[in-house]
Amino acid sequence: MGRDKYKVWIEAEEWVEGEWNVHNDNTDVIVEFDIWDRWVASFFTYSNINKLIENNQNTGECLCGKYFWAANMLLVDEVSRKRIQEVIEHLINKNEFEGVFKKFCDE
């Protein structure tokens, strides 16, 4: 892909302090290589998926927790900035970034 410089925006960093639990949460992430080249993915922790399924079982959503899905979902052990940047760098180096992230379109 040949992309060396980029900026990473993490939605959870905009939340009120104390609301972000890096071990049990999910957050949208936008990677910007330039103003016209932005990509988005949703990072979920494994623990957060379990929490969401339990919630769905109680609320009846997703057939009472029988399935779960999210667009551009990427599962990680923690949703810290360090881990997110580490995963992005790995995906770029392995030429897998465009298969995981979705091109972001402002419309």
Given a cut of 80, whether residue 59 has pLDDT beyond it is: yes
Say if residues 42 and 19 touch (Cβ distance below 8 Å): no
Give the pLDDT score at 3.
67
Give the pLDDT score at 16.
92
Give the pLDDT score at 34.
81
| Selection from 59, 40, 58 nearest residue 106 by Cα | 40
Enter the tokens of residue 99: 């298969």
Given a cut of 60, whether residue 9 has pLDDT beyond it is: yes
Given a cut of 90, whether residue 106 has pLDDT beyond it is: no
Residue 61 identity (one-letter amino acid): E
- CA distance linking residue 85 with residue 107, whole number of Å: 27
Average pLDDT in the chain: 93
Mean pLDDT, range 32-58, rounded to an integer: 94
